[in-house]
Structure 1
Amino acid sequence: MPVTPTPAPRRPHAIRTIGFLLASLPIRLLAFVLTLVSVVLGITTTMLWVGIPILITATSVVRGFTGLERRWVGTMLGIEVAEPVRRPHGRGLLPTWQTRLVDPVTWRELVFVLVALPLGIVEFVAGLVSVAVPPFGIFVAPRIGAMHGELTSSMLGPDRTAQLEARTRQLKDSRARGVDAVEAERRRIERDLHDGAQQRLVAVAMSLGRAQLKLGDDTQADVRELIGAAHHDAKLAVAELRDLARGIYPPVLQDRGLDAALSSLTARVPIPVDVEVTVEPRPPAPVETTTYFIVSETLTNITKHAGADRASVRVTRDADTVVVEIVDNGHGGASVRPGGGLAGLADRAATIDGVLTVVSPAGGPTVVRADLPVRW
């Protein structure tokens, strides 16, 4: 698939850029003087405690001028610069100053204000030349404005790490909402199957059963046979729908939790399965569902392919993780292969940031382990 190149940022308008270059110098000069005087005065009087409010005032002055710079760049150059992410601070002068002192945003803004004056002088001269020599203003001034916009974005905008962290949090929140939505949809489908189609088929089966009982001995044999076959098929359909609904979301899991659900599940397995579940407090519903289906599918694979005559299931949790371990005494040799059943379980665990590992040497035993976070 061809990669679409990222479009280059739009170059600022020439006339607006020239106005920006000429009008910025007085603002830069005022910001430089106020900042330098307040910082020097605050540092020299810090031992008297008067310096702390002065230094806080200095950082507030820096914030005010850098905020003005962002808006000014956006208005004149058409380059939007987002606010950086600042560290929150507590109440009072000392906590405020301590937080601002260690906040990288404060130091980047301070450096920008101090550098902006000599930069503003150069840009002011470039603006004068642009007015005197129009071809220079048309072709060079927009490039100077674009470079100034890039400098402002890099020093006064959110740093790359903060942007990536914010994006990561956004994606995790979005994924969590998606997982919850899928979980709710599974429950809805299970309820619809249980309360809708399954109940109708039960009613059909009961009606066919009553009709079959009311048929006399002299009724044609083929009619009785057809009704009997329909009755049998309806009961099979009810059983299959019940298994399907239980597979989508077992009601016992919602009502009584993992311990009861896994005990009910292993009771239907044709080999003995030891179960140990310790998951207090109860984990979120997506974690419970993922745990249930990992155990269910793994036990199905064991009974079909492992040649085992015994298995064990152990589910524990700590503050951050639910750990699922399924062990069997079969012949081993299981592996996570693309498109295989274990790969599907690994993918399911990954939807909630879980990790599935398989240790299965030839001759066994096989250990399937899933580490599932309880928050994401």
Structure 2
Amino acid sequence: MTMPAHPITRRLALPGWSVLRFSFTLIAAVLLAASLATGILVVFWIGIPVAVGVFLAIRVWANSQRRMIGEQLGVDIPVPYRERPKRARLDQQALHLVREAATWRDFAWLAIDATLGFLVNLLYLGVFGIAVYYLVQPFLLATVFHAAPIPSINDFGFFHFDTPAQTLMLVPLALGLGFAWWRWGELFLRWYSHLGVLFLGPTANALLTARVSELRQSRDLTVDYAAAELRRIERDLHDGAQGRIAALSLTLGMAEELLHQDRPEQAAALVAEARQTCSDALEEIRDLVRGIHPPVLADRGLTGALQAMALDHPLPVSVVDRLGGKLPAPLEAAAYFATNEILTNITKHADATQVQVVVTHEHGLVRIEVRDDGRGGAAVASGGGLDGVSRRLAAFDGTLEVDSPDGGPTTVTLTIPAVAVGPAAVENKRAAGS
């Protein structure tokens, strides 16, 4: 159940959301009782598979809570569980679940939600229900139930509010409860949801462990990518420039022999051939250097390099520059080659007629959006071009997102943390200092 963004519609939708949460507190009570019963049965063998089933059921319940609370608060609550051992025995799976801290945090929130959560949602729904009840009661008694015998329905001990005129005296109470529900009801539920985030979200230690694992994986991918690049450079030099230089050496040797034999015309022909071979080798080396770090990046920066790339592209490509400063050279190179790979993929697979590249730099993030009007259906597949882009960006803690429904259009977004180092950044720092 997604919460509306507008404040009024969100408040009006909260009672339904609270009813859903209230039902989950009842499920929590059942799971809590099952957990306590499992604790007794676990001393017997039959209790082990029951314990695994109960633990997994609690995880399903906790994940549902994470989704609901995250939608209410507009946050993402990561799942903190470690990967379970595959093909392990039931006792090993049970031991793994018991040893995991997230299991006990789920259990703690289960106990809280079965008790405090029950009271919180009951109080919220009670205030809302009483306010609505006393607001509509005079109207119902005067219309729908005006001819029916009315028992004592509002017995407060000191007075009976049984007639339509008498129930009108309860309208101020309903309005007060309605105001309290409208003013503080959402804050009350959000407070309880924030309490859930503390239990259901990963701990600082778990986040640090996940971050270290992510950085280790990023480092491994970077090392593999660098090794692959070195092998490519070595292969290109061996198969291209090195072969031409070897042929150049042989040609010049033959020309030298012809000169010793007093055959200058034939020697001149070989020297001309050697000159052409030298030019070809030089061109291949220049192409190789452009593949390592294009000179246009150093001369014109990332935006200028992208504009030069757009001019050479077979499709009409427009570049929207909102960068506003120069970036570190390694980051510019990574962004340049990543964008080039995406444009190459568009040429090969998208059947697009036009492409737009938008470059922005806000809040310490460089964002490059590449949009095309092609057939869509693009995805990050292992070993594919977009997967290579993702691995290239991982070295800079960057991310790649693909929005490509069938039929298009496609938007590929590259996001890289960065700090500008150009004149614009210096002026901003001076302005901030003054």
Report TM bin, short chain: 0.3 to 0.5
- Under a length normalisation based on structure 1, what TM-score does the superposition of the two structures give? 0.47
Report the TM-score when normalising by structure 2.
0.42
